[in-house]
Structure 1
């Protein structure tokens, strides 16, 4: 009998990977919406997907109740919400590079912008410092640690409480409690410092607001001689101003 390397039977693995028919069919129904078809009907869905009209109408009604479709079976509020999120992120990625470049040039520090992933901040944009012989940087796509400044900002303002619970799952109860206290301070001050146990390195991050929620975190990376809670008020003020400028440019 064959067993996968992780100890699971191939049949169990295949079952996990198998498509869920109802979800696939719902996706196919939603995919029928376009510029030429702004509203769906049971007859149209039945014809295009090879369903009987009763089944097609049940899918339309279920999608309407879930918020994917409107009462008239056009795009519903949940699709509008998801579309808005994509639009906001596109705007952030359009406007942020120039703002971050100016911030990096004025402070001499690398600036970073991240979005919240499943377990921490995901580095999305980086503008490296153009001065000095040693440049601190981070790769785009890096998932930052739990105690990274940007992760703390994004978790502190996360709209989904489950995001914090999921991120803290590997911590002991005492460690999780300490980190929750830290996040409470981040919410009060709208500023986070990294606590990565790396002597000589420092990072500060602030939130980027849009649509009344925090959508991203902007940070600076530097040495403790250049960046730290007790010696970098001017640089932190510049970081805060850059994030506010970016927030003001995002359509609400």
Structure 2
């Protein structure tokens, strides 16, 4: 091997089974991309003509995508596409509406205000409005994946309609720890707020759910020091402000 190529990582060939799976995904994406303002339903003939597939293969792809929910019985956009588009639409709404509400919440409480969405391994920070007062400002970066015991992760899991989501995210916890987390989720459902338990001395956060038409869509939270945000009745006024802001955002989404 020459010195010029010694440091270059060579691609590892994929096994045949993996290449076949990836090709199937790419072709499914190409089939979905055939939808436009003029094409509202598909057919084996149309897919065959536009993608250069034989009709038997095209028909097989349509049937498989129909069974998976990507296509409807008439080979139009299926329920899974509707579900995903609805999710994207709601998140776009939240990202449009939330910043001004978070700014107001931060100004009223003197704390950093955040909105997050549920990702694959926990809440993911979508927008942050930092507190304008004080010499020390606690914040979190947009895109940060929060821990399972973060307030926002807890409140999003507490109101999940699909128990499999909670089971998957708690799978890495020890049995006793998972049991404690289930108890915390029950408290969050009862109180409609969740507190963080990250083992970081001096820091605190509390979150409230934001609901869409059918399910919890986001978590709104405030972050601060335990002096400013103690998990006791001393924080009641700030927690009330948080709840009101989350309820206002929910009402705007459902209005």
Gaps of 5+ in 2: 1-11
| 1:250 counterpart residue number | 253
| 1:148 counterpart residue number | 150
Q: Which of 196, 199, 209 is matched with 1:197 structurally?
A: 199
Q: Which moved more, 1:11-20 or 1:54-63?
A: 11-20
In 1: Cα distance, 2:193 partner to 2:106 partner: 18
| 2:24 counterpart residue number | 22
In 2: Cα distance, 1:13 partner to 1:42 partner: 30
In 2: Cα distance, 1:169 partner to 1:73 partner: 37
How far off its partner does 1:13 sit? 7.6
Partner deviation per Cα, 1:19-54 (whole Å, 9 max, x = no partner): 533332222111101112112122111111111222
How far off its partner does 1:70 sit? 2.2
Contact 1:88 1:210 (C-alpha < 8 Å) held by counterparts: yes
Q: Secondary structure at the match of 2:106?
A: helix
Alignment of structure 1 residues 172-183 onto 2, 5 Å: 172-183=174-185
| 1:36 counterpart residue number | 38
| 2:8 counterpart residue number | none
Change in Cα spacing, 1:187 to 1:139, as seen in structure 2 (3 Å) is same
Q: Secondary structure at the match of 1:204?
A: strand
Q: Secondary structure at the match of 1:232?
A: helix
Q: Which moved more, 1:197-206 or 1:95-104?
A: 197-206
Contact 1:125 1:140 (C-alpha < 8 Å) held by counterparts: yes
In 1: Cα distance, 2:190 partner to 2:42 partner: 47
Q: Secondary structure at the match of 2:220?
A: strand
Contact 1:88 1:251 (C-alpha < 8 Å) held by counterparts: no
How far off its partner does 1:143 sit? 1.1
TM-score normalised by length of structure 1: 0.90
Q: Secondary structure at the match of 2:48?
A: helix
- Once superposed, what is the RMSD of the aligned Cα atoms? 2.0
TM-score normalised by length of structure 2: 0.89
| 1:61 counterpart residue number | 63
Gaps of 5+ in 1: 1-9
Change in Cα spacing, 1:188 to 1:83, as seen in structure 2 (3 Å) is same
Q: Secondary structure at the match of 1:182?
A: helix
| 2:242 counterpart residue number | 239
Q: Which moved more, 1:185-194 or 1:222-231?
A: 222-231
| 1:84 counterpart residue number | 86
In 2: Cα distance, 1:251 partner to 1:30 partner: 29
Change in Cα spacing, 1:33 to 1:203, as seen in structure 2 (3 Å) is same
Change in Cα spacing, 1:82 to 1:58, as seen in structure 2 (3 Å) is same
In 2: Cα distance, 1:143 partner to 1:112 partner: 13
Q: Which moved more, 1:93-102 or 1:27-36?
A: 27-36
Q: Which moved more, 1:58-67 or 1:222-231?
A: 58-67
In 1: Cα distance, 2:198 partner to 2:251 partner: 31
User: Aligned residues, how many?
Assistant: 244
| 2:134 counterpart residue number | 132
In 1: Cα distance, 2:148 partner to 2:194 partner: 12
Structure 1 stretches of at least 4 aligned residues deviating more than 6 Å after TM superposition: 12-15
